[in-house]
Amino acid sequence: MNKISLKRCKSNPLLTSEDIPYPSNQVFNAGVTKFNSKYIMVFRNDYGRSQKDFLRCEVAGLGWPVTKTNLGLAFSDDGINWSVDPEPCFSIETDEIQRVYDPRLTVIDRRCYMCFAVDTKHGVRGGIAVTDDFDKFEILHMTVPDNRNMVLFPEKINGEFIRLERPFPVYGRPENEAFDIWLSSSLDCKYWGKHRLLLGAEDVSFSNCKIGPAAPPVKTEKGWLTTIHAVEKVDREIYAWHRNWNKIYYGGIMLLDLNDPSKIIAMCNEPALVPELPYEKEGFRGEVVFPGGMILEESGEMKIYYGAADTVECLATAHVDELLKLCENYKL
């Protein structure tokens, strides 16, 4: 495969567990946006088990060590140097809900919406909350299981909120976890409908497994530039803190119609982001890159924030025109 690579930020990783002033083992899969002229990051913070705990449990023949997750908050003036708030900003733990993770941020009409995944005793659900200050969050919606990787478009289209999502139909499409990307609409962000298939896993040439949304879409002159994550299962064991890890996660890009985002205009048929650096290849799960936030600067620079190896948070950049050209090379 002729792999295209985005330019990695020299300060990578931008955020690691060492930067976190409360218990932390892995900091990754963050949502990032610009809000009230600051860069804001809400990151996934996994804690309560280190690489040593995995080894200890494996040697003792125990199962996986218990993981806990909360969402942390960080601010930045330049998108590169981050200050982390002293306390996590969001978590839900009840008898039913085990944890909230993989936040995605989208500013719509000057309010910040956060999509997230929720592990519950009865399956994985997608949640949407809204906040004005990252202190108080109002939960607007929770899907039925199993669904996750939801992202919102940054403006209403024809009067409707639009989201991308990735249900996992384990009976309907069990073959190698062939899970697809769907699109839904809502008038109030609480009640969702008009569910449509956007992209089937079989249509992504660099995936032989599941795909899903990644960072929320960004508006460009040519269409909505949209990242996806795409998984390739391989016949070798990949470096990880646990056994039997054999999935490579790539970042892909596609372009959706501005007025009707259920139409794919073009898609790059090679991954735009491929795990290749040590911090992307080694960690809790090696060879995982997972974009979660994308910011288009006035200069035309696109900042793509991504979790690497499920362990640290990183940044890669490209000019928006290069990304559009990559898409246009492969019109559907």
For 149: left if phi > 0, alpha if psi spans -120 to 50, otherwise beta; the answer is left
Interface with ligand BMA, residue 290, by CB under 6 A: yes
Binding segment (CB under 6 A) for ligand BMA, from list 177-185, 198-206, 267-275, 284-292: 284-292
Interface with ligand BMA, residue 19, by CB under 6 A: no
Secondary structure (3-state) at 127: strand
Report the nearest approach of ligand BMA to the CB of residue 267 (Å): 22
In the β-sheet with 38-47, what is the strand arrangement from edge to edge? 26-35, 38-47, 68-76, 83-84
Distance CA 308, CA 315 (A): 10
Distance CA 154, CA 175 (A): 34
Interface with ligand BMA, residue 310, by CB under 6 A: yes
Binding segment (CB under 6 A) for ligand BMA, from list 62-70, 108-116, 134-142, 283-291: 283-291
Interface with ligand BMA, residue 249, by CB under 6 A: yes
Q: Given the complex with ligand BMA, which of 43 and 249 has the nearer CB atom?
A: 249
Distance CA 252, CA 229 (A): 6
List beta partners, residue 162. 185
Binding segment (CB under 6 A) for ligand BMA, from list 173-181, 250-258, 285-293, 320-328: 285-293
Report the nearest approach of ligand BMA to the CB of residue 42 (Å): 14
Secondary structure (3-state) at 53: helix
Scan residues 91-110 and list those touching ligand BMA (CB under 6 A). Answer: 102
Strand 218-220 to 7-8 pairing: unpaired
Please tell me what DSSP assigns to residue 157.
B
Q: Given the complex with ligand BMA, which of 72 and 223 has the nearer CB atom?
A: 72
Among 42, 288, 312, 315, indicate the residue that binds ligand BMA (CB under 6 A).
288
Phi, psi of 63 (to 5 degrees): -75, -160
List beta partners, residue 161. 186
Count of residues interacting with ligand BMA (CB under 6 A): 8
Interface with ligand BMA, residue 230, by CB under 6 A: no
List beta partners, residue 15. 313
CA separation, residue 143 to residues 119, 126, 213 (Å): 12, 5, 16
Q: Given the complex with ligand BMA, which of 28 and 161 has the nearer CB atom?
A: 28
Distance CA 109, CA 199 (A): 28
Report the nearest approach of ligand BMA to the CB of residue 24 (Å): 16
DSSP string, 135-158: SSEEEEEEPPSSEEEEEE-SS-BT
Report the nearest approach of ligand BMA to the CB of residue 290 (Å): 5
Q: Given the complex with ligand BMA, which of 68 and 319 has the nearer CB atom?
A: 68
Interface with ligand BMA, residue 285, by CB under 6 A: yes
Interface with ligand BMA, residue 29, by CB under 6 A: yes
Note the residues at the interface with ligand BMA (CB under 6 A). Answer: 29, 102, 249, 285, 288, 290, 307, 310
